[in-house]
Structure 1
Amino acid sequence: MAHSFIAYIDEAGDDGLNPDKYRVPGRGGGSSHWLTIGATVWRQSRDLDAVRWAKEIRAQLPQQKRHKPLHFKDLDHPQRVMAIGGICERPMRALAVIANKPVIPDGTYPAKHQLYHYMCRYLLERLSWLCRDMRPSVPEGDGRVKIIFSRRRAMNYDDFQSYIQRLKDAADPEIRIHWPVIDIAAIEAEDHGNRFGLQLADLAMSGLTAALEPDFYGNVEPRFARMLKPRIYHRGTNYLSYGAKMVPAADTIPFTDQQREFLGIFG
């Protein structure tokens, strides 16, 4: 039987943890202060609709951008507002795990991709809860979610599947993934330009991160996070434990006054 849901996973920022290489406002280059890994999710039966959603966004771009894959970084501010608005009109959900890298103690994640894997565990927990919560209103399919990652260079996705299988086999009560909805064998990775769902995930994750990651001038843009809020997974008024999960906990992160607007939106 077909999956009930499909989730496209992308990231904004990078997983570099060298404290000497973080970006400084007014200078080029450097590693991001924040890493966001998140998913856009909809019914599997609507996956072809997502192609139309993305094409309708692209059709509103200037001619030279209409035939290129959607990338938040390639859009100017008005185009980003248009694109995020296009996401917010669609029957989808979004969820993200957002790490503030500078407060992570040195040596916490020494292995390659270790921070990424750790955040994906949190993401899969919340993705599994979302699919479990939505199952009563989505009768089609077998209840499971098809997971497609935006391909990262130098990352082995067979190893990632093995990592997820080890989490399942560990039977650790601290790992709160609702396993009946996760199809480990069906996890795959695709190039960003090959799947419109990944392009929509890029817009959503980059839009959320813009409220936290300072630009060249040291400013952040919370408008996109505010626009996306109706699509973010939550229970009651609780967003920060679900669709806008902070790593480490939000009360340990030294937010600037501008960044605190993110907490005002979701906290």
Structure 2
Amino acid sequence: MSLSQTPPEHEYIAYIDESGDPGLSRVKGIDVNGASEWLILGAAVFRRQTEPKIEGWIRDITSGFRGHQKFGIHFADLNPAKRLLVCEKMRALPARYWVVASNKKNMKGYQNPWAAMFPSKNWFYCWMTRLLLERITHFVAQDSASRFGSPRFLKIVYSERGGISYEQMNAYYSWLKFKDIAGTQVLTLGELSWSVMDRRLLEVAAHNNRAGLHFADTVASAFFKACDFRDTGECDPQFAKLLEPRMGRFPDILDGRIAGYGVKIMPSFRGAQLTRDQEKIFKFYGYPRQWWAPGPD
């Protein structure tokens, strides 16, 4: 029997955006005119009851911008004072923020031998979303079990700036779920919590059409600025540090671990061969120690 086209009710919503690009054939740090050294995915996760307030929060934040004429926030277009204001406001919101950061120097020219097995040309971006959603769905499963006694669904909204489509992401997650059920995953350390996912709650939207994507943009871009010096000038971690109170933690308590959970670096902290300035933001969040994903729930 085919699924109804009507999506089930969701209790959580995750907005996902990226900073940097997924290019691997030439990478800065190795090649002079390569793609960005980093691809960073950021997410802002809200509970359903706060979802109607998101647009108002954006308007409240931008009301503090002198001469700001248009709706919304695009971190790259803001001066440092406005960036600080945005992150200071975001640290007080009832949300959780997540980051997966790939330093691509070790990925230059890499070809995924499994890429041909699912119909998506953007396999690297898809793989990064898998790492991000392993953590977010784990949090949602844990939080909904605590609040409701059983899993509750997560709605996922991607920014279309990643060059992905609904069909590509739907095919990728269907492929992953099949492999998880069959026990044939190549990466066995973590797994998505499928009990909180439904393909009818997957959406790809224009940045300006979903206010929540502006928060995801800020998360991704603040961390990009913290560890990039090839495209944006000196590394400046002050913005990403401000988000610390709302970064994902395991367990979800004040002293829960952020490194490896709310903030995940690929490859390993040591393997990335970062400069001292690039290391600062990851050390601030607890590296080199980190959380490791549990087995299937």
TM-score w.r.t. structure 2 length? 0.81
What is residue 225 of structure 2 aligned with on the other side?
Answer: 210
What is residue 170 of structure 1 aligned with on the other side?
Answer: 179
Give 3-state SS (helix, strand or coil) of 1:61's partner.
Answer: coil
What is residue 22 of structure 1 aligned with on the other side?
Answer: 28
Pick the aligned partner of 1:242 from 261, 264, 274: 261
Q: Give the direction of change, closer, same or farther, for the CA distance of 1:196–1:217 in structure 2 (3 Å limit).
A: closer
Give 3-state SS (helix, strand or coil) of 2:10's partner.
Answer: coil
Report the residue type matching 1:256 in the other structure. Answer: T
The answer on whether the counterparts of 2:100 and 2:131 sit within 8 Å (CA) in structure 1 is yes
What is residue 77 of structure 1 aligned with on the other side?
Answer: 80
Report the residue type matching 1:79 in the other structure. Answer: K
Structure 2 CA distance for aligned equivalents of residues 62 and 140 of structure 1 = 46
Is there any run of 5+ residues in structure 1 with no aligned partner, and where? none
Report the residue type matching 1:211 in the other structure. Answer: A
Q: Does 1:150 align with 2:130?
A: no
Structure 1 CA distance for aligned equivalents of residues 103 and 140 of structure 2 = 27
Q: How does 1:72-111 map to 2 (within 5 A)?
A: 72-109=75-112
Which segment drifts farther, 229-238 or 45-54?
A: 229-238
Post-superposition offset of 1:225: 1.8
Q: How does 1:41-52 map to 2 (within 5 A)?
A: 41-52=45-56
What is residue 53 of structure 1 aligned with on the other side?
Answer: 57
Q: Does 1:123 align with 2:132?
A: yes
Post-superposition offset of 1:189: 0.7
Structure 2 CA distance for aligned equivalents of residues 52 and 58 of structure 1 = 10
Q: Give the direction of change, closer, same or farther, for the CA distance of 1:215–1:89 in structure 2 (3 Å limit).
A: farther
The answer on whether the counterparts of 1:58 and 1:66 sit within 8 Å (CA) in structure 2 is no
Post-superposition offset of 1:201: 0.9
What is residue 3 of structure 2 aligned with on the other side?
Answer: none
Structure 1 CA distance for aligned equivalents of residues 89 and 140 of structure 2 = 23
Structure 2 CA distance for aligned equivalents of residues 108 and 55 of structure 1 = 43
Structure 1 CA distance for aligned equivalents of residues 132 and 221 of structure 2 = 16
Post-superposition offset of 1:49: 1.1
Q: Percent identity?
A: 29
Please give the root-mean-square deviation of Cα atoms over the aligned residues, in Å.
Answer: 2.4
The answer on whether the counterparts of 1:4 and 1:138 sit within 8 Å (CA) in structure 2 is no
Which segment drifts farther, 86-95 or 201-210?
A: 201-210
Structure 1 CA distance for aligned equivalents of residues 131 and 41 of structure 2 = 10
Give 3-state SS (helix, strand or coil) of 1:251's partner.
Answer: coil
Q: How does 1:179-258 map to 2 (within 5 A)?
A: 179-214=194-229, 218-235=233-250, 236-258=255-277
Which segment drifts farther, 247-256 or 210-219?
A: 210-219
Structure 2 CA distance for aligned equivalents of residues 176 and 16 of structure 1 = 26
Structure 1 CA distance for aligned equivalents of residues 79 and 71 of structure 2 = 15
Listed one character per residue, the Cα deviations across residues 189-230 of structure 1 (whole Å, up to 9, x for unaligned) are: 110001110011111111122111115574101111211111
Which segment drifts farther, 230-239 or 161-170?
A: 230-239
Post-superposition offset of 1:107: 2.3
Listed one character per residue, the Cα deviations across residues 149-197 of structure 1 (whole Å, up to 9, x for unaligned) are: 0113643321210110111111236251111011222201110001110
Is there any run of 5+ residues in structure 2 with no aligned partner, and where? 1-7, 116-120, 288-297
> Which structure 1 residue ranges, 4+ long, deviate > 3 Å from structure 2?
108-112, 136-142, 215-218
TM-score w.r.t. structure 1 length? 0.90
Report the residue type matching 1:265 in the other structure. Answer: F
The count of aligned residue pairs is 262
Q: Give the direction of change, closer, same or farther, for the CA distance of 1:70–1:35 in structure 2 (3 Å limit).
A: same
Give 3-state SS (helix, strand or coil) of 1:67's partner.
Answer: coil
Which segment drifts farther, 87-96 or 236-245?
A: 236-245
